[in-house]
Each structure stands twice: as structure tokens, then as C-alpha cells.
Amino acid sequence: MKMRDFMASAPGKVILLGEHAVVYNRPAIAVPVNAVEATSEVSYREGGVFVKALDFAKEYDITKRPLKEGDDGFALQETVYHTYEYLQKRPEDVEIRVTSTIPVAAGMGSGAAIAVSMIRAIAGYLKKELLPEEVNYLAYKTEIIHHGTPSGIDNTVITYNKPVYFISEPRKMERLDIAKPFMLVIGDTGIRSNTKEVVAMVRENRKKNYSKYKQIWNEIADIVNEARDAIINGDIEHIGPLMNRNHELLKQIHVSCDELDKLVDAALDAGAIGAKLSGAGRGGDMIALVNEGTKEDVANALRRAGAKNVIITEVKP
């Protein structure tokens, strides 16, 4: 019987504070970015199993699960198959069309958002209901393909579409009650950042200087916990200096780059309350905390400083 088409979407995300340290069981705070999203639509198509990546004008025939790790489209294929397997169904006569406005490899969770939208669209097409924790579990399996040893923060904040305070082990996810909305300007360097490679680099450097990295992780944890209290209490101004310090610590572990530092400096010079890289680093995005009166000045300053894309988003309760 032909099924009715089903569509689902998922937001982007940025890490507000705590990236890299979160891989080593320290807390991080991440927030959704609803100004951008990934969307998947599932429909009937006779003769196999197909995924269309519309933004790249690519189609993958994954009828017999032909793609291997490292192949273009492998993560899309595996997301389809492990979702169907979890739902105890066999994929057949189906097409999944995927599109996204989230910058790729920029620290905004594009891979996780695509996975979440695909999982929900497939479940909806099959008239199955998945709990958020089930979607999160399946999306994390895709994140392993993308990143090797992910913290789980991307799939978590995107699945729940709420600001979260997150610790990877033992797993703790606390949805934050935001006392006051706040605004971020996101600047994209245009340099694609490979999370798996950057995380692996940090891991190797940590082995060589364990005590230094432990001290940095602990200071980042203190910053995150202080920011958590500020968010809950509505003390948004207090978050800015914490972001600045977090960026300096990330520079010490060599995950920033000249382009990111230039955008951070430009944002601060234009009146941002705080600014830092967001995500793996070595390219990708930076974020600036702003208010209504400074958001446009900061956005324009980022464009002048070389940002390839600028997004203004409000983080709400």
C-alpha cells in the first residue's frame, strides 16, 4: 500500500561554552539555532531505496546498502538503515529527500540535524511514534560515523530543541530554564572544519601534556558552571567575559585559527558582550553575544572582517 508523504525538520545548534572539554567528561552548554534547519521528506518510490541530497544535486541508490565507510553518502545510508532496523521494518520503495540551510562543517550540527530530521521523517512515514530519547539514540549512531568519538551534545540539543547543560559520562542532560532570552550573532569563516580530525589532534596533544590539558579542562568546566547559573538567573551580561576566557583557553589547545580570531576581535570591537569560536575550531563558526542595540553593528563588522555568512538568532526559553 502506498504511504502518505511525511516531512520533518530539525534546527541547527551552537555550543555556547565547553567544546572539547566536553569530550573529557566536563560540562558544556549548547543552544539550538532555529534560524536555520535541516528538512527531510519521505515518499513512495517504486523500485528501491533512494536518498536525494537536494543541496548537492546528488542521488544515492542505497537499495542493497552498497556504500561503505568513507564513501560519499555513507552516513545518510546508515541513518536510513539503522532507523528502519530499530523500527523493525525493511526499507523498500522509498525516497528520502534531504535539504538544509545549516552551514556544513561549521560547528552548527548539520550532520546531527539531518539525521534527526531523517529519523523523524522515516518514523512518521511508517506511522510510528518515537520518543525524543529514541530519536536521540539513533542520531547519536550517525554522529559516531561523522565524528568517531562524539560527545553527544549535538544530537541532544537538536533532538530536544532546547538549551542544554550536558555532561557526556556519566551521561547528564539538563534542559536549561532560561530566565531571559539572549541574542547571538554567528559568523562563518567559510573554512570547513573536520571535527573528527580536530578532536583526534587534541587527543594526541593531551597525551603529550596531560597536566596542562587537565588544568584547562577544569577551568573550562568552572566557566560553564558559572555561565549555567548566569543563564538561569537571567544575568546575561555576565556570560560575555566567560565566553572571552573560554576562547583564550581554546587558543591554548591550538583549535582556533587566524580567521576565527579575526572575527572574534571584530565582534568585540563592534560592541559584542563576548565572543568565541564555537565547535571543533580550525575553521567553522564563531559566536558573539549581543543585545538589540549592537546586533546589526556586530553583524556588519563580521562581514567586513571576512565572514562568509552571518546569522542572527535569539535563544529563547
* % of the chain surpassing 70 pLDDT: 99
pLDDT digits (tens), the chain, 317 positions: 567 899 999 999 999 999 999 989 999 999 999 999 999 999 999 999 999 999 999 999 999 999 999 999 999 999 999 999 999 999 999 999 999 999 887 889 999 999 999 999 999 999 999 999 999 999 999 999 988 878 788 899 999 999 999 887 777 788 898 999 999 999 999 999 888 899 999 999 999 999 999 999 999 999 999 999 999 999 999 999 999 999 999 999 999 999 999 999 999 999 999 999 999 999 999 999 999 999 999 999 999 999 999 999 999 87
Q: Are 157 and 107 in contact (CB under 8 A)?
A: no
Question: For cell 538567573, what's the residue?
Answer: 233
Best CA proximity match to 216, nearest among 250, 165, 241, 244: 250
C-alpha cell at 138: 539513533
Residues comprising the chain, all counted: 317
Active site residues: 154
Tally of CA atoms within 13 A in the half-sphere of 294 that contains its CB: 19
Is residue 222 within a helix (H) or strand (E), and if so which, with residue range? helix 210-233
- Total Cβ atoms within 10 A of residue 169: 10
Beta bridge partner(s), residue 11: 37
Widest Cα–Cα separation across the chain: 62
Q: Are 56 and 73 in contact (CB under 8 A)?
A: no
Question: Distance (Å, rounded) from C-alpha 149 to C-alpha 136?
Answer: 16
**Domains, the chain:** 6-175 (3.30.230.10), 182-315 (3.30.70.890)
Reported as a single tens digit per residue, the pLDDT across 6-64 is 999 999 999 999 999 998 999 999 999 999 999 999 999 999 999 999 999 999 999 99
Question: Distance (Å, rounded) from C-alpha 286 to C-alpha 194?
Answer: 15
